[in-house]
Amino acid sequence: MAGIYLHIPFCKRACHYCNFHFSTSLGLKNDFLTALLKEIELQQQYLAGETVETIYFGGGTPSLLNNEELQTILEALARHFTIDPTAEITFEANPDDINEATLLQWKQVGINRLSIGVQSFFEEDLQWMNRAHTAQQAFGNLQLALQHFSNLTIDLIYGTPTLSDERWQHNVQQAVELGIPHLSCYALTVEPKTALDTMIRKHQVSNVQPDDQARQFLLLMDWAEAAGYEHYEISNFALPGHRSRHNSSYWQGKKYLGLGPSSHSFNGQGRQWNIANNALYIQSLKQGTVPFEVEILTPDQRLNEYIMTSLRTMEGLSLDHVQQLSGDKISQALRRNSHKYIQQELLHEKDGKLILTKQGKLFADGIAGDLFV
């Protein structure tokens, strides 16, 4: 089983913190769609006959696609790939693109899961981020979406200078009271060359405070646990039965194909990534060539990826799996190296698996990096 990710590289406006590949001009949209359909055709053998169990429209802002465009893409996927009848098909949408008509259209063409970029229910936070929607749209259109989709997730951001602990609790509580079955919660990261990075360096806005972010993450874990959510991955919380099948496949090392500019793919042996330039992507596909680079992973790289991804999940890192991948010597060395984190109560071992504690999740990347071979 495998997944397909489609990157729709257009947005109405640029959020100050975003470093994803996108354009705020829709001038190349039609040419992009033609190129995307061509890439679907050219890449139909990449998954080597695997059945596709998840499809994910990300971006950018996929909800800028009209119904005819979305249907054309889904029909092309169905022609060139074997799609499981029960496939999870996720569609990212901004609150300002949601209304009764769009919800009905998305459902009609086969979308069965929404990912809604709420980020906050407070106007001040949204303006600080330069989001396109209002707090009223975030709440009202989310209520509307719940009338049509029982399977959806929302994004929330914490650790911004405008977000007090009280406001952060309100955001989480609002999601809980609405009955949102899945939450993706991210600490605001100041990425290089973003508008936010520039504004901070010019002292136009306050910088983020790591201590505030750590505290709000710990609070989030407590609140989500009390509300019955599984903290199944560092940034993801789900009510039972509502984990993201698509994102889970990444952490489980399953194969996936990325379509569109800047998208990444993995076939079990290596990774490839498309050029992050709309015009060059379109030009290359016009000539019948997918513009990508390839990296074949070494055994050590594959093990390190497993360490990084498995430690992020509630199931943890299986020492037996490490032994199968790399042998007794490396498995035993990893166990020895993990002992200091167990003593510090950042890791614990259960049934042959290394699992991060709540405190340990604050240092997930650092711990994983220290355990790399």
Nearest one of 255, 261, 258, 265 to 294, comparing CA atoms: 265
- The answer to whether residues 175 and 228 touch, using CB atoms and an 8 Å cutoff, is no
Q: What contacts 337, CB < 8 A, 6 or more positions away?
A: 370, 371
pLDDT of residue 45: 95
Question: Which backbone phi and psi does 4 adopt, to 5 degrees?
Answer: -130, 130
CA terminus-to-terminus distance, the chain: 29
pLDDT of residue 161: 92
Tell me the domain boundaries of the chain. 2-251, 301-371
Q: What fold is seen in the domain 2-251?
A: TIM Barrel (3.20.20)
Q: In Å, how far are 26, 206, 310, 315 from 352, measured between CA atoms?
A: 52, 44, 13, 11
Chosen CATH of 301-371 out of 1.10.10.920, 3.30.360.10, 3.40.50.970, 3.40.50.150 = 1.10.10.920
Element housing 36 (H / E): helix 29-42
CA angle centred on 282, ends 280 and 285, rounded to 5°: 105
- The answer to whether residues 226 and 243 touch, using CB atoms and an 8 Å cutoff, is no
Q: Give CA–CA dist 179/240, Å, rounded.
A: 12
Instruction: Please list the rounded mean pLDDT of every run of 10 residues in the chain (373 residues).
Output: 96 86 89 98 94 96 96 98 98 96 97 97 94 94 96 97 96 97 95 85 88 97 98 98 96 94 95 97 98 95 94 96 91 94 96 96 96 92
Q: Give CA–CA dist 156/171, Å, rounded.
A: 8
- The answer to whether residues 122 and 100 touch, using CB atoms and an 8 Å cutoff, is no
Question: Which backbone phi and psi does 139 adopt, to 5 degrees?
Answer: -75, -50
Q: Give CA–CA dist 189/173, Å, rounded.
A: 23
Alpha helices in 252-298 (DSSP H): 278-286
Q: Give CA–CA dist 128/16, Å, rounded.
A: 8
- The answer to whether residues 165 and 219 touch, using CB atoms and an 8 Å cutoff, is yes
Element housing 322 (H / E): helix 319-326
Q: What contacts 201, CB < 8 A, 6 or more positions away?
A: none
pTM: 0.95
Q: Give CA–CA dist 370/139, Å, rounded.
A: 42
- Cβ neighbours around 334 below 10 Å, total: 20
pLDDT of residue 32: 97
- The answer to whether residues 239 and 229 touch, using CB atoms and an 8 Å cutoff, is yes
pLDDT of residue 203: 87
- The answer to whether residues 131 and 119 touch, using CB atoms and an 8 Å cutoff, is yes
* Look-up of token digits 């605001």: 188
The dihedral sign for the CA sequence 21, 24, 27, 29: positive
